């Protein structure tokens, strides 16, 4: 294989890492330390031609392929034992056309890269809430964040892409190319090719009113009910997410993360959240959008994660009570439960414009178990699965592709799209990847 890797090096403008190389250990690291894989080689590509060469080399040498953007997927799809990683981390360029209102993202750009570039012009695309997350990976799985209510899912704002297919071809998705492929990329994940350049619709946003509101103790249930009620009547300029957790003393904690883009100094939604019982900390104020994007800033590659969740049509008191109760069962802080609203702009989009199928959901509730001691692996995984099972009676459609683990059954992947869209995606997969070369994802098998 060493001689063959010299052949790969000769075919790339970028570089190739092997286990003996100094940068290999860091380059193979995933966000989720529960995933610990050792690829044969990591091809750090710098353009679409490099990606094509890497894909062709892997297939010629019978190597399984993983594609790495930001490396944040909890399933660890970005790494593979004894295979080849197509690493896009050197493709982080971002270009902005402010007159046209379009942003162009390289395949390995992170949200920090993208937001920093677009905010120089007072523009944004609704994206992820963690700066080190890859732009492309989050987009292909949907994309929920601080501006979902105002501007929709990230994939709704994807208007074109350069895609390298498993056969080594370079094609365009969208106007001037394959519009069906663009439809599939809006939620269908990395099943059809490697996106090396993505084009996004941009929106004017510079100043927001945002931050976090922290509630503690027995009033946490009331705080979550207030969050739910406010979400039910909030205006189009107001978005909010919530998170449930336990502190080190096993006290229940809830946090709300409002993001208001309107012109009022104190919108009614924020007044209502501040009036909820149990409020102990309030950092909400007028700020730049870049400052808001730092509210969630977890360290990369320091803990072990297992995530599982459901889309739900509503958030009744019964479910809130069950979630709070589930936080206590381990006798230690088990992780977090994230509640993301899907109100507003995602409902205004023509459902036929994107492959994903959870437009009728009110919230995405994700159980995010995390821990550092490998001795807690079985316990953490079981807690996440059992807590997700408590949510399931309230669920609609399948799970959120960006948060799914690798052990999700095909039925849940299918349910995330609906039967008709899933059949259409399988036909698209058959056209672009009939041999399922790109299967390290929430996989759509060829039709």
pLDDT of residue 98: 98
pLDDT at 2: 64
Fold of 2-87: 3.30.43
CB atoms within 10 A of CB 283: 11
134 bridge partner residues: 110
b/e map 108-136, b = 16+ CB within 10 Å: bbbbbbbbebbbebebbbbbbbbbbbbbb
In 3D space, the residue among 16, 6, 86 whose CA is nearest the CA of residue 48 turns out to be 86
Per the DSSP assignment, residues forming a β-bridge with 66 are: 85
| 207-410 placed in CATH 3.40.50.970 | no
Distance separating alpha carbons of residues 200 and 223, to the nearest angstrom: 36
What is the C-alpha to C-alpha distance for residues 149 and 421, in angstroms, rounded to an integer? 24
Query: CA 42, CA 8: separation in Å to the nearest integer?
Result: 11
Handedness of CA 290, 296, 297, 301 (dihedral sign): negative
pLDDT along the chain (447 residues), means of 10: 85 97 96 96 98 97 97 95 97 98 98 97 97 96 97 98 97 97 97 98 96 96 98 98 96 98 95 97 97 91 95 97 96 97 96 93 97 97 98 92 92 90 97 98 94
Instruction: Tell whether the torsion through CA atoms of 58, 63, 64 and 68 is positive or negative.
Output: negative
pTM of the model: 0.96
The dihedral formed by the CA atoms of 138, 139, 141 and 147, expressed in degrees to the nearest 10: 80
Task: Report the C-alpha gap between 95 and 335 in whole angstroms.
Answer: 37
Please determine whether the domains at 2-87 and 207-410 fall in the same fold group of CATH. no
Both tokens of 39, joined, read: 């690829």
HSE value, Cβ hemisphere, 13 Å, CA-based, for 34 = 23
Domains of the chain, by residue range, sit at: 2-87, 94-205, 207-410
> How far is Cα 146 from Cα 344, in angstroms, rounded to an integer?
12
84-87/41-44 β-pairing: parallel
Beta carbons of 243 and 339 less than 8 angstroms apart: yes
Contact at 8 Å (CB) between 249 and 263? no
Please report, in angstroms and rounded to a whole number, the separation of the first and last CA atoms in the chain.
34
Going 204 to 207 to 212 to 213, the CA torsion angle's sign is negative
As a CATH number, domain 94-205 is 3.30.465.10
């Amino acid at each position: 294989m060493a001689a063959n890797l010299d052949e790969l090096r000769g075919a790339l403008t970028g570089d190739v890492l092997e286990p003996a190389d100094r940068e290999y250990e860091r380059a193979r690291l995933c966000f989720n330390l529960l995933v610990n894989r050792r690829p044969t080689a990591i091809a750090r590509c710098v353009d679409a031609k490099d990606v094509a060469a890497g894909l062709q080399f892997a297939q010629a040498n019978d190597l399984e392929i993983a594609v790495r953007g930001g490396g944040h997927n909890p399933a660890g799809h970005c790494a593979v034992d004894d295979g080849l990683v197509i690493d896009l981390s050197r493709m982080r360029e971002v270009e902005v056309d402010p007159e046209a209102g379009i942003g162009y993202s390289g395949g390995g750009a992170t949200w920090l890269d993208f937001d920093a570039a677009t905010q120089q012009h007072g523009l944004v695309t609704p994206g992820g809430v963690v700066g080190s997350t890859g732009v492309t990976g989050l987009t292909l799985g949907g994309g929920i964040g601080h501006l979902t209510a105002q501007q929709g899912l990230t994939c709704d704002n994807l208007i074109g892409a350069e895609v390298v297919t498993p056969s080594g071809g370079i094609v365009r998705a969208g106007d001037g190319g394959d519009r069906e492929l663009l439809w599939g990329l809006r939620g269908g994940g990395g099943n059809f090719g490697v996106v090396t350049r993505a084009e996004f619709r941009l929106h004017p946003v510079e100043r927001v009113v945002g931050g976090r509101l922290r509630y503690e103790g027995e009033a946490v249930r009331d705080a979550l009910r207030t969050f739910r009620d406010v979400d039910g009547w909030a205006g189009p300029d107001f978005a909010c997410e919530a998170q449930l957790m336990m502190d080190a003393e096993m006290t229940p904690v809830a946090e709300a993360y409002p993001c208001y883009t309107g012109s009022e100094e104190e919108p009614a939604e924020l007044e209502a959240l501040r009036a909820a019982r149990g409020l102990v900390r309030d950092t909400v104020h007028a700020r730049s959008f870049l400052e808001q994007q730092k509210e969630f800033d977890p360290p990369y590659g320091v803990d072990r994660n297992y995530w599982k969740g459901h889309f739900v049509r509503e958030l009744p008191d019964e479910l809130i009570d069950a979630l709070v109760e589930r936080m206590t069962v381990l006798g230690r802080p088990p992780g977090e439960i994230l509640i993301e609203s899907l109100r507003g702009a995602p409902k205004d989009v023509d459902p036929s414009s994107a492959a994903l199928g959870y437009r009728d959901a009110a919230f995405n509730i994700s159980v995010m178990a995390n821990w550092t001691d490998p001795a807690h692996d079985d316990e953490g995984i079981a807690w996440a699965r059992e807590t997700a099972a408590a949510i399931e009676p309230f669920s609609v459609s399948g799970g959120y592709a960006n948060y799914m683990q690798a052990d999700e059954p095909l039925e849940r992947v299918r349910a995330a799209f609906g039967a008709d869209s899933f059949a259409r995606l399988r036909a698209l997969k058959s056209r672009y990847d009939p041999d399922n070369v790109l299967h390290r994802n929430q996989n759509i098998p060829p039709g």
